[in-house]
C-alpha cells in the first residue's frame, strides 16, 4: 500500500465496455479518470462479459466482429487518453468520507470525487442436485470457451433468452445434437437469432424441449444424463454428455449495496435513467448491473457516457474542481 492515496475525479469500478467507454468520456470532459478491472476468469475482467460472445453484429459501425475484438478496440480507444488510467486491480472495499470516496483494492487505495459502478454481472448458477458437482465435468457456462470439447457429442442447453439461443448456435457448430431445455412455452431470442435456431431445428441439429426444467444432473466421473420434470420422448431421463447453462446473470452489486446505493428486488442498481445517478450524490451506475430490462453493449456504453457527463456536472456544481 502506498503512503499517499492517488486522487481522481472519476473512479470507475468495472472495466467492461461500459466502464471503458465511461472512462473515455470522463477524459474528454477533463476528468482525471481511473478504471479498475480484475483480470481473472470470474468477475470484472478487462473487456467484461462481451469477451465471451462469439459474434457481435449489433454494435453500430461494425457489421460483424467477436466480442473480444470489440472490447479490445474500446480498451485501446480509452487508453489513448492521457487522463485515463486503467488498472487490473480488484476493488475490495469503498468508503464514503465527506465529499469523496476511498476505493480500496488488494494492493492500493484511491480517492475519488465521484464513482461509477459498472460492475456487470456473473452467470446465474443452475441450482439443482449435481450441477455444482459436475461443473467442468460436463456442466459449463461459456459455450464459446468450451464448445470444442463437445465435438460430435449430445449436449443440452438450459435457457430461452437471446444469449441462450446464441450459445445453442455456437454449440451446434461442434456438437452432434443440441437440446434446448426451456421452462416456458417458447424461447424468446431476437427474431434474427430465432430464425437461425429454427433453421437448425429443421436440419435436426437443434431440438427444443419446451415447458421443461432440469431437476437433477447425474453421471459417474462426468455427466451422463439429466432428469427432467416432465417426460420427453417417453422418459424423464435425457442422456447428455454436456449441459450448458444460460439462465441469466446476477448483478454484482455487493459493494454498491454496502455504501447505501438503492437496489431493486433483483439486486440491480436503481438509476435515474436520464442521468445514470443513483440515490447517493456523486455515485453513478451503468451497464448490466443497473435496473433496465434491455441490456446490450450499446446501452451500457450509452449509460456509461451519461454517467461521465453527470459526474462532470456534479463536480462543477459542487465546486469540487480543485
Partner 1 sequence: MKVVVYGTKSCVWCGKTRKFLKKYNIKFKDIDIEKSKSAEKKMIKISGQEGFPVINVNGKIILGYDEPKLRSVLNIK
Alpha helices in the chain (DSSP H): 17-28, 67-79, 143-146, 162-172, 191-202, 254-258, 297-317
**Rg of the chain, C-alpha, whole Å:** 21
- 144 is a site residue for partner 1 (CB under 8 A): yes
If binding is defined by CB under 8 A, does position 52 make contact with partner 1? yes
Verify binding: residue 161, partner 1, rule CB under 8 A: no
Q: How is residue 52 written as a grid cell?
A: 465471451
CB 170 within 8 A of CB 147: yes
Which residues neighbour 74 within 8 Å (Cβ) at sequence distance 6 or greater? 17, 20, 21, 24, 301
Q: Is 149 in the site for partner 1 (CB under 8 A)?
A: yes
Under the binding rule (CB under 8 A), the answer on residue 107 touching partner 1 is no
Binding to partner 1 (CB under 8 A) within 253-312 occurs at none
Kindly state the number of chain residues that form the binding site for partner 1, as judged by CB under 8 A: 24
Asked if residue 121 binds partner 1 (CB under 8 A), the reply is no
Q: Applying CB under 8 A, which part among 47-55, 119-127, 247-255, 277-285 lies near partner 1? A: 47-55
Which of the ranges 114-122, 123-131, 137-145, 230-238 carries the binding residues for partner 1, by CB under 8 A? 137-145
State the minimum distance, in angstroms, from the CB of residue 140 to partner 1.
7
Q: Which of 9, 75, 100, 146 binds partner 1 (CB under 8 A)?
A: 146
Determine whether 239 is exposed, middle or buried from the number of CB atoms within 10 Å of its CB (0-12, 13-18, 19+): exposed
142 is an interface residue for partner 1 by CB under 8 A: yes
**Grid cell listed for 152:** 460430435
Q: Does 137 bind partner 1 (CB under 8 A)?
A: yes
Q: Which is nearer to partner 1, 42 or 319 (CB)?
A: 42
Q: What is the C-alpha to C-alpha distance for residues 226 and 133, in angstroms, rounded to an integer?
A: 13
> Minimum distance from CB of 41 to partner 1 (Å)?
4
Q: How far is the CB of 134 from partner 1 (least distance, A)?
A: 9
Strand residue runs (E) in 81-222? 84-88, 91-97, 100-105, 109-117, 121-123, 139-140, 154-158, 177-181, 206-209, 214-219
What span, in angstroms and rounded, lies between the C-alpha atoms of 58 and 66? Answer: 11
Residue 119 CB, nearest approach to partner 1 (Å): 19
Residues engaged in binding partner 1 (CB under 8 A) = 39-41, 45, 51-52, 54, 67-68, 88, 135-138, 140, 142, 144-149, 151, 222
Amino acid at each position: 500500500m502506498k503512503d499517499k492515496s492517488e486522487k481522481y475525479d472519476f473512479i470507475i469500478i468495472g472495466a467492461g465496455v461500459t466502464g471503458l467507454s465511461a472512462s473515455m468520456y470522463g477524459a474528454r470532459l477533463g476528468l482525471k479518470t481511473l478504471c479498475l478491472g480484475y483480470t481473472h476468469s470470474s468477475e470484472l475482467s478487462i473487456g467484461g462479459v462481451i469477451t465471451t460472445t462469439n459474434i457481435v453484429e449489433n454494435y453500430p459501425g461494425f457489421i460483424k466482429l467477436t466480442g473480444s475484438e470489440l472490447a479490445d478496440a474500446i480498451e485501446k480507444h480509452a487508453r489513448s487518453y492521457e487522463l485515463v488510467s486503467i488498472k487490473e486491480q480488484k476493488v475490495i472495499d469503498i468508503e464514503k468520507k465527506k465529499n469523496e470516496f476511498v476505493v480500496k483494492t488488494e494492493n492500493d487505495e484511491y480517492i475519488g470525487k465521484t464513482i461509477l459502478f459498472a460492475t456487470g454481472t456473473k452467470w446465474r448458477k443452475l441450482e439443482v442436485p449435481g450441477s455444482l458437482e459436475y461443473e467442468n465435468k460436463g456442466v459449463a457456462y461459456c459455450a464459446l470457451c468450451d464448445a470444442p470439447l463437445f465435438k460430435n457429442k449430445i449436449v443440452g442447453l438450459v435457457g430461452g433468452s437471446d444469449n441462450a439461443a446464441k450459445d445453442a448456435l455456437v454449440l451446434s457448430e461442434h456438437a452432434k445434437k443440441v437440446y434446448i431445455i426451456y421452462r416456458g412455452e417458447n424461447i424468446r431470442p431476437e427474431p434474427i437469432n430465432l430464425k437461425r435456431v429454427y433453421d437448425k431445428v429443421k436440419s435436426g441439429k437443434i431440438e427444443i424441449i419446451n415447458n421443461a426444467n432440469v431437476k437433477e444432473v447425474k453421471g459417474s466421473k462426468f455427466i451422463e444424463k439429466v432428469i427432467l420434470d416432465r417426460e420427453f420422448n417417453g422418459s424423464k431421463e435425457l442422456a447428455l454428455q454436456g449441459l450448458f447453462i444460460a439462465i441469466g446473470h446476477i448483478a454484482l452489486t455487493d459493494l454498491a449495496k454496502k455504501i447505501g446505493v438503492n437496489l431493486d428486488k433483483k439486486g440491480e442498481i436503481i438509476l435515474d435513467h436520464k442521468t445514470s445517478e443513483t440515490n447517493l450524490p456523486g455515485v453513478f451506475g451503468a451497464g448490466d448491473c443497473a435496473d433496465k430490462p434491455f441490456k446490450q453493449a450499446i446501452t451500457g456504453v450509452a449509460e456509461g457516457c451519461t454517467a461521465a457527463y453527470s459526474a462532470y456536472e456534479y463536480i462543477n456544481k459542487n465546486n469540487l474542481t480543485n
